[in-house]
Structure 1
């Protein structure tokens, strides 16, 4: 995990292959590690997340994202989501990107910008 800091807002970046998100406990462990270094924002690569996350019927995404919201930690998931054909997933991604807690972005830079800009508005 690396830490990106801009305008006193820290983002924990989970590097590719560093930690994988396959269970709800994995999400809790990642959040705990970030909170230990005073980060309430996290960025993770799509490649680190189990594919079942992107099948909304499994309810895995809902369980994981609810933990982030309950613990008041913002999350940016970065990667290419264009190959997913599920309308419900596309709608879900669209709605998340309109909010203040969960973002799906194409690049690290876009993810960091989303997290930093929302976090600054809440100060």
Structure 2
């Protein structure tokens, strides 16, 4: 189904409304793509869950500053960002990304999670605290 736009959907997960971005959806490669996700989240989501596979490779190369810009946009709009999926290949490339992931996962705004079960567990924990 080449060329088909796959819609992202709103779901309640762990008691929190989450904009679930479809893995088959368009890549997140520009700040306009990020703003489009934020706009879609304003329909009631508190969290945007983006499959790691949808993020442009520049996101994982910290020298481009794309990750920082993306994360700052979500902070500015008071939305949580969950990057869901296997990023081990990117983590193996250098310690800076590992440090970013570690620090982000210690905080409450941006999370790097391996799967949806981890997202659900994190949301349940965040809702309690």
TM-score, reference length from structure 2: 0.85
Change (3 A) 1:32 1:90: same
Report the RMSD for the aligned CA atoms in angstroms: 1.5
User: How far 1:19 moved relative to its partner?
Assistant: 3.3
Q: Does 1:93 align with 2:101?
A: yes
Change (3 A) 1:6 1:79: closer
Q: Does 1:80 align with 2:86?
A: yes
Instruction: Give the Cα–Cα distance (whole angstroms) in 2 for the partners of residues 18 and 61 of structure 1.
Output: 19
String of CA shifts for 1:10-32, please: whole Å, max 9, x gaps: 01100112232101111111110
Change (3 A) 1:7 1:51: closer
Match of 2:58 in 1: 52
Q: Does 1:39 align with 2:38?
A: no
Runs of 4+ residues over 4 Å off in structure 1: none
Match of 1:68 in 2: 74
Matched-pair contact (CA < 8 Å) for 2:27–2:55: yes
